[in-house]
Structure 1
Amino acid sequence: MEVFLSTRSDLKSVPDCYVLPPDKRPKQHDAPVGQAIPVIDIQNIVDPDDRAEIVQQIVKACQEFGLFQVVNHGVPGKLMDDAMSVLIDFFTKTPAEYKAQFITDARDKSCVLYTSNLIYDDHEEGIRYWRDCFIHHCYPLEDHIKNWPEDPPKYQEVIGPYSVGVRKFLMTILDLLCEGLGLEPGYFAGDHSKTQLLSVNHHIPCPDPSLTLGHAEHSDPNLIAALHQCDVPGLQTCKDGQWIGVQPIPHAFVIIPGVQFKPISNGMFSSPRHRVVANTKKHRTTLGSFLVPTDDSLTEPSKALINESNPQRYKPFTMGEFMAGWRGRLEEDVGLQRFVIE
Structure 2
Amino acid sequence: MEHLVSSWYNDGSLPESYIVPPEDRPGMPSLGENIPVVDLGAHDHTTQILKASQEFGMFQVINHEVPRNVIDEAMSVFKEFHALSAEDKAIETSKSCYVYTSTQNYATERFHFWRDGLFHQCNPLQKYIQFWPEKPPKYREVVAIYTAELRKLGFRILEFIAQGLGVNPDHFRNELGENETLLVNHYPPCPDPSLTLGLGKHRDPVVINILLQSDDVHGLQVFKDEEWIGVEPIPDAFVVTVGALMQIISNGKLKAAEHRVVTNLDLARTTASFALNPFYDTLIEPAKALVDASNPALYKSFSYNDFISKYRAAASYSTAFEQFLSSTPD
* Shared fold per TM-score greater than 0.5: yes
Residue in structure 1 matched with residue 323 of structure 2 by the alignment: 334
Q: Could you tell me whether the CA contact under 8 Å between 1:42 and 1:54 is conserved in 2?
A: yes
For residues 223-247 of structure 1, give each alpha carbon's deviation from its aligned partner in whole angstroms, at most 9, with x where no partner exists. Answer: 1100000020000000011001011
- What is the TM-score normalised by the length of structure 1? 0.88
For residues 121-154 of structure 1, give each alpha carbon's deviation from its aligned partner in whole angstroms, at most 9, with x where no partner exists. Answer: 3797142110111111111111111221221121
Residue in structure 1 matched with residue 118 of structure 2 by the alignment: 134
| 1:75 and 2:66 aligned | yes
Q: 1:185 to 1:25 in 2, by over 3 A?
A: same
Residue in structure 1 matched with residue 90 of structure 2 by the alignment: 100
Q: Which letter does structure 2 place at the counterpart of 1:157?
A: E
Q: Could you tell me whether the CA contact under 8 Å between 1:33 and 1:246 is conserved in 2?
A: no
Please give the alpha-carbon distance, in whole angstroms, between the structure 1 residues aligned to 2:276 and 2:10: 37
Q: 1:4 to 1:124 in 2, by over 3 A?
A: closer
Q: Could you tell me whether the CA contact under 8 Å between 2:55 and 2:255 is conserved in 1?
A: no
Residue in structure 2 matched with residue 47 of structure 1 by the alignment: none
Deviation for aligned residue 1:324 = 4.8
Q: 1:302 to 1:195 in 2, by over 3 A?
A: closer
Deviation for aligned residue 1:20 = 1.5
- What is the TM-score normalised by the length of structure 2? 0.91
Q: 1:305 to 1:10 in 2, by over 3 A?
A: closer
Q: Could you tell me whether the CA contact under 8 Å between 1:121 and 1:127 is conserved in 2?
A: no
Q: 1:305 to 1:115 in 2, by over 3 A?
A: closer
SS in 2 for 1:187: coil
- Flag structure 1 segments of 5+ consecutive residues without an equivalent: 45-49
Q: 1:122 to 1:240 in 2, by over 3 A?
A: farther
1:194 to 169, 175, 178: 178
Please give the alpha-carbon distance, in whole angstroms, between the structure 1 residues aligned to 2:208 and 2:151: 11
Total equivalences in the alignment: 325
SS in 2 for 1:311: coil
Residue in structure 1 matched with residue 253 of structure 2 by the alignment: 268
Q: Could you tell me whether the CA contact under 8 Å between 1:203 and 1:214 is conserved in 2?
A: yes
Q: 1:277 to 1:36 in 2, by over 3 A?
A: closer
Please give the alpha-carbon distance, in whole angstroms, between the structure 2 residues aligned to 1:34 and 1:188: 35
Q: Could you tell me whether the CA contact under 8 Å between 2:38 and 2:59 is conserved in 1?
A: yes
Aligned counterparts, 1:142-221, within 5 A: 142-221=126-205
Please give the alpha-carbon distance, in whole angstroms, between the structure 2 residues aligned to 1:325 and 1:109: 17
| 1:85 and 2:76 aligned | yes
Residue in structure 1 matched with residue 277 of structure 2 by the alignment: 292
Please give the alpha-carbon distance, in whole angstroms, between the structure 1 residues aligned to 2:139 and 2:286: 40
Please give the alpha-carbon distance, in whole angstroms, between the structure 1 residues aligned to 2:297 and 2:6: 48
- Flag structure 2 segments of 5+ consecutive residues without an equivalent: none
For residues 134-178 of structure 1, give each alpha carbon's deviation from its aligned partner in whole angstroms, at most 9, with x where no partner exists. Answer: 111111111111221221121112111001000110011111111
Deviation for aligned residue 1:120 = 2.2
2:29 to 6, 28, 31: 31
Q: 1:97 to 1:72 in 2, by over 3 A?
A: same
Superposed CA RMSD in Å reads: 2.2
Deviation for aligned residue 1:301 = 2.1
Q: Which letter does structure 1 place at the counterpart of 2:64?
A: H
SS in 2 for 1:158: helix
Q: Could you tell me whether the CA contact under 8 Å between 1:215 and 1:275 is conserved in 2?
A: yes
Q: 1:312 to 1:76 in 2, by over 3 A?
A: same
Please give the alpha-carbon distance, in whole angstroms, between the structure 2 residues aligned to 1:283 and 1:212: 15
Please give the alpha-carbon distance, in whole angstroms, between the structure 1 residues aligned to 2:32 and 2:123: 33
1:237 to 222, 237, 247: 222
Per mean C-alpha deviation after superposition, the further-off stretch among 180-189 and 120-129 is 120-129
Q: 1:121 to 1:32 in 2, by over 3 A?
A: farther
Residue in structure 2 matched with residue 66 of structure 1 by the alignment: 57
Q: Which letter does structure 1 place at the counterpart of 2:322?
A: D
Deviation for aligned residue 1:2 = 4.8
Identical aligned residues as a percent: 44
Q: Which letter does structure 1 place at the counterpart of 2:137?
A: P
1:277 to 262, 266, 269: 262
SS in 2 for 1:31: coil
Residue in structure 1 matched with residue 308 of structure 2 by the alignment: 323
For residues 289-329 of structure 1, give each alpha carbon's deviation from its aligned partner in whole angstroms, at most 9, with x where no partner exists. Answer: 01121222122223443345433323333213433543424
1:310 to 283, 295, 303: 295
Q: 1:288 to 1:185 in 2, by over 3 A?
A: same
Q: Which letter does structure 1 place at the counterpart of 2:81?
A: F
Please give the alpha-carbon distance, in whole angstroms, between the structure 1 residues aligned to 2:122 and 2:294: 42
Residue in structure 1 matched with residue 39 of structure 2 by the alignment: 41
Q: Could you tell me whether the CA contact under 8 Å between 2:7 and 2:85 is conserved in 1?
A: no
Please give the alpha-carbon distance, in whole angstroms, between the structure 2 residues aligned to 1:84 and 1:140: 22
Q: Which letter does structure 1 place at the counterpart of 2:202?
A: H
